[in-house]
Amino acid sequence: MFHSNIRTPEGYWFILNIEMLFKYSRIKCDYALGEYATLTQVKSFKLREFKPKDLQSVVSINWKCLPENYSSQFFLELYEHYPKSFIVVEADGQIVGYIMCRIETGISEFKRPIFGIAKKGHIVSIAVLSEYRRCGIATELINQAMRRMLEYGATECYLEVRKTNDAAVNLYKKLGFEILRKISGYYYDGEDAYVMGWKLKKFEH
């Protein structure tokens, strides 16, 4: 794959081109999140920072893809405080996914139950439309978000994921996350969550 980072007046753009990389009409990636995407559907996609004009598209994706939904104001508040780590992905002339993060200072996820303070990047929400999954978009969203967390001075990254969401858990493990603990009854329907984390120093190039 060819990767390039281009800086524009509106922020950083991450462009990934996958044309001519496969001879077959279907991409088979190594994680299972939704339906396959074909090369005719996703020839290229680009990542960029969220802008307020993207709000309607992002909220729509959140409601279509996830049982955990947020108000428009919540999205805008995270954008106002942590704009670098709120990233959207465009393909075929539309927004097809996003990742939204915040930076927190608190007890290190890697030192519990021992007390230790750390600056942490928290992946609050990530979603990709079903027809654009399994072609590397989620991986690139997470990788780019972690680069931005480093820019904010974070030393570790964590997220919550449903214990029964094997596809997501396996994806995060392949990216380098590890299961740190379980939170009983974390979700509104009573399901447990895993807290998964990654020490960002492992990600530095």
Is residue 92, in this structure, part of any structural domain at all?
yes
Distance, CA of 16 to CA of 2 (rounded, Å): 6
Is residue 29, in this structure, part of any structural domain at all?
yes
Q: Which helix (H) or strand (E) holds 73?
A: helix 72-81
Q: What is the pLDDT of residues 3-26, one digit of tens each?
A: 333 333 344 343 333 332 222 222
Q: What is the pLDDT of residues 105-136, one digit of tens each?
A: 998 988 776 678 899 999 999 999 999 988 88
Q: Which helix (H) or strand (E) holds 149?
A: helix 137-151
Is residue 76, in this structure, part of any structural domain at all?
yes
Of all residues in the chain, the percent with pLDDT exceeding 70 is 76
Is residue 201, in this structure, part of any structural domain at all?
no
Is residue 163, in this structure, part of any structural domain at all?
no
The pLDDT of 170-178, averaged and rounded, is: 93
- Is the pLDDT assigned to residue 34 strictly greater than 80? no
Q: Phi, psi (5° rounding) for residue 188?
A: -60, -25
Is residue 191, in this structure, part of any structural domain at all?
no
Is residue 110, in this structure, part of any structural domain at all?
yes
Q: What is the pLDDT of residues 69-96, one digit of tens each?
A: 999 999 999 999 999 999 999 999 999 9
Structural domain containing residue 121: 2-157
DSSP secondary structure code for residue 33 in this structure:
-
CATH label of the domain that carries residue 89: 3.40.630.30
**Number of domains observed in the structure of the chain:** 1
Q: Phi, psi (5° rounding) for residue 56?
A: -60, -40
Is residue 116, in this structure, part of any structural domain at all?
yes
